[in-house]
Structure 1
Amino acid sequence: MIRSWALSILLAAGASAASAADLTVVFVNPENFRDAAYSRSFPSERDREEVMRDVQQHLQRLADRHLGPGDALRIEVLDIDLAGGFSPLRRAGPEVRILTDVTWPRMELRYELSCDGQVIASGRERISDMNYLLMARRSSSSDRFIYERAMLDDWFARRIVAAKEHG
């Protein structure tokens, strides 16, 4: 747990140093995340770190694009449940992530957006994309983060960008 928390801080610090956007992302108890590994149902710490890195990097890109001087965003990732799931009946061979209409991507987040030190939006949300299989996605078929990325894009636009515009 301490190592994961340290990784969260290092990811946030590294991203902040390379970016103008003031973003802090903290992964709270990642060992308890529902489904945070791309290729196995029982993830190792390294598997979770790979998913957390992708979440961190994508949120940083969104922050770089949409946050300006004086804006600060803190996001605590409380749970991750990637799109699809693994069959509990499969016993031999590599595990295969199966996408169905009931295994949509989900995350639970707590966030606070401030502008010039004044909080303009905050909350705790369970975000999801129940229509993830219906949407045409323009990306490589090898993109393992495609559905979660689209879900985060939508959430960021609805909560963070909208709050800045109406702030």
Structure 2
Amino acid sequence: MKKHIGLIITTGALLLMTSTALSTAFAAGSEVKWTEPEKYRDIRPGDENRKRFQERTFKELELYFAKLAARLPEKQQLKIEVTDVDLAGDVRFGSHRQIRIIKEIYAPRMTFSYQLFSADETLLSSGEVDLKDMSFMRGSRLKHRSESFNYEKNMLDDWFEETFSPVVAAATQGE
């Protein structure tokens, strides 16, 4: 039987997402903090308002961290502090506007620290992460191809799988 569980994402204020059908064993939450975003390498819009683009980017990535965290065991909390973002591609001036050019030399990067807490707030794991996906345009990485920030999401998928697959596997065996 499936339960409807809401995930909570915090970025200063709490934001309650719509209920999502998740099994009881997968009801973890996430919290994302964006530290000094004005110093990030590249979070520039192409032909969009800079502030709205940054807000949209943060919201989209927060929701994606929440989606990943939902795979963790019940009541665990994944806290992320992002210290740098360099989106795939590079913003260049076209004829009369700015556009984001995607080429292999403009790989996505993200730097953050994470902490994973148990339901009783015991620290289970933590680390400093410096991601860079130099092969982001190669292979059959089609999972997020129709979504915004698909290259960044693929990179986060790889990190999450490498970092938390034993935790997720243990939770599924315990069902």
Q: Return the TM-score normalized by structure 2.
A: 0.75
Taking structure 1 as reference, are residues 28 and 43 closer, same or farther at Cα in structure 2, changes over 3 Å only? farther
- Alignment correspondent of 1:94: 97
- Alignment correspondent of 2:3: none
More helix by share: 1
Aligned with 1:60 (options 66, 72, 84): 66
Q: Is the 2:11–2:31 Cα contact (8 Å) retained in structure 1?
A: no
Q: Is the 1:107–1:128 Cα contact (8 Å) retained in structure 2?
A: yes
The DSSP-based 3-state class of the residue aligned with 2:131 is strand
CA RMSD of aligned residues (A): 2.8
Distance in 2, matches of 1:106 and 1:18, equals 31
5+ residue gaps, structure 1, are 1-6
User: Number of matched residues?
Assistant: 155
> Do structure 1's residue 81 and structure 2's residue 86 form an aligned pair?
yes
> Do structure 1's residue 39 and structure 2's residue 42 form an aligned pair?
no
- Alignment correspondent of 1:3: none
TM-aligned CA deviation for residue 138 of structure 1: 2.7
Query: Aligned runs of 1:1-167 on 2, under 5 Å?
Result: 8-10=11-13, 13-15=14-16, 20-39=27-46, 44-64=50-70, 66-87=71-92, 90=93, 92-116=95-119, 117-138=121-142, 143-163=147-167
Taking structure 1 as reference, are residues 105 and 164 closer, same or farther at Cα in structure 2, changes over 3 Å only? same
TM-aligned CA deviation for residue 140 of structure 1: 7.2
TM-aligned CA deviation for residue 35 of structure 1: 1.1
Taking structure 1 as reference, are residues 140 and 109 closer, same or farther at Cα in structure 2, changes over 3 Å only? closer
Q: Return the TM-score normalized by structure 1.
A: 0.78
5+ residue gaps, structure 2, are 1-9, 21-26, 171-175
Distance in 1, matches of 2:144 and 2:123, equals 38
Q: Is the 2:11–2:33 Cα contact (8 Å) retained in structure 1?
A: yes
For structure 1, which segment, 111-120 or 23-32, has the greater mean C-alpha deviation from structure 2 after superposition?
111-120
The DSSP-based 3-state class of the residue aligned with 2:98 is coil
Distance in 2, matches of 1:126 and 1:94, equals 32
TM-aligned CA deviation for residue 164 of structure 1: 5.6
Taking structure 1 as reference, are residues 17 and 67 closer, same or farther at Cα in structure 2, changes over 3 Å only? farther
Q: State the identity %.
A: 28
- Alignment correspondent of 2:173: none
